[in-house]
Amino acid sequence: MAKILVTGGAGYIGSHTCVELLTAGHDVVVIDNLSNSSAASLSRAEQLTQKKLSFIEGDIRDATVLDQLFQEHSIDAVIHFAGLKAVGESQQIPLRYFDNNIGGTICLIRAMQRAGVFKLVFSSSATVYDESNASPLNEDMPTGMPSNNYGYTKLIVEQMLEKLAAADDQWSIALLRYFNPVGAHKSGRIGEDPNGIPNNLMPYLTQVAVGRRQKLSIFGNDYDTPDGTGVRDYIHVVDLANAHLCALNHRLKTQGCRAWNIGTGNGISVKQIRDNFEKVNGVEIPFEYVPRREGDVATSFADNARAIAELGWQPQYGLADMLADSWNWQKQNPNGFNES
């Protein structure tokens, strides 16, 4: 068993990963500045697992806090989720994204180096692939210039980490390229709780279902896809969380820097998501078609063969689980972690 530092562990994917790490018997230390999350997610992760984790409320850009953390805890590896992810905001305030996502990662890897910790799993994204690649996307396909500043920070950090590992073979780094994480823990106790109006499809849809929003806007029905709406690869957040444990096991034994796609390999359209949500959950989802959203591609889904072959990972959950679990979380927590 290992002692794992989870940056951004109070967030959506981080809190689900903490549950899986604790369940597997690992010791967990979380650093999170709570800029986009609530510490309630961590106490619920503890309740669900009947285990304790250590939580430091702090910023990964604070070298003093990181040095102290590495001194107090003998960390074996780091899973690095901390970052900002709002695409629209990244266009309006690029520097905030460069500072937090790129600057924050540099500060973190410097502190890791000082502490002699060289195992890292990084949250990357399918957005790093060049838009001209046809799906299924595989890891040998070229990356390109992402259409927004958020995606740009992911690409830069990936490239930085590759160069770091090439220069110093002590490093062992996993770049996990997530497709579209959705769903929630089966208990409905933790889940996605975005600030303000959700940018992403699933939290918007569940907020329509729970009556917080009137109707879903489907961005474009004139794409070159079977029903004209955008096609994506939705992956259950618990499967995604488990991919981190598999990557960790792999990286504890090997050196270098390598990318893995984390998706199911199935392309599902927005209209299919909406229709199946109604069917699986028995709730009505009013919707309208509106023009395409700038920067969206028609189709993006993964070739996940590399992760299956090399990480020993296998997604367990299908679309019906993703839709039922997203709804279960939202229904039980209509206002997210803000219970008032």
| Residues at the interface with ligand UDP (CB under 6 A) | 180, 199-201, 204, 217-219, 230, 232, 270, 293, 296
Residue 26 or 274 having the CB closest to ligand UDP:
274
What the block records as the tokens of 190 is: 């933790």
Secondary structure element (H or E) that encloses residue 234, with its range? strand 234-236
Secondary structure element (H or E) that encloses residue 182, with its range? strand 180-182
Count how many residues are written for the chain. Answer: 340
By a kind-dependent CB cut-off of 5 to 8 A, residue 281 interacts, out of ligand NAD, ligand UDP, none, with none
Q: Which position has the token pair 């790490």? A: 21
Residue 302 to residue 233: CA distance in whole angstroms? 7
Residue 67 or 275 having the CB closest to ligand UDP:
275
Considering only 7-15, 263-271, 283-291, 302-310, which stretch makes contact with ligand NAD by CB under 6 A?
7-15
Residue whose beta carbon is closest to ligand NAD: 11
DSSP 8-state assignment for residue 143: B
Exposed/middle/buried for 232, CB within 10 Å: 0-12, 13-18, 19+? buried
Q: Which of 4, 13, 19, 30 binds ligand NAD (CB under 6 A)?
A: 13
Verify binding: residue 59, ligand NAD, rule CB under 6 A.
yes
Binding mask 294-333 for ligand NAD (x = CB under 6 A): ----------------------------------------
Catalytic residue among 97, 129, 150, 178: 150
Q: Closest approach of Cβ 290 to ligand UDP, in Å?
A: 8
Residue 171 or 178 having the CB closest to ligand NAD:
178
Residue 7 or 269 having the CB closest to ligand NAD:
7
Q: How many CB atoms lie within 10 A of CB 305?
A: 13
DSSP states of 70-111 as a string?
Answer: HHHS--SEEEE------HHHHHH-HHHHIIIIIIHHHHHHHH
Verify binding: residue 269, ligand NAD, rule CB under 6 A.
no
Q: Residue 110 is which amino acid?
A: R
Verify binding: residue 42, ligand NAD, rule CB under 6 A.
no
Candidates 41, 7, 37, 16; CA nearest to 235 is: 16
Residue 186 or 213 having the CB closest to ligand UDP:
213
Query: Does residue 289 carry a catalytic annotation?
Result: no
Candidates 340, 224, 319; CA nearest to 275 is: 319
What residues act catalytically?
150
Contact positions toward ligand NAD, by CB under 6 A?
A: 7-8, 10-14, 31-37, 59-61, 81-85, 100, 104, 123, 125, 178, 181
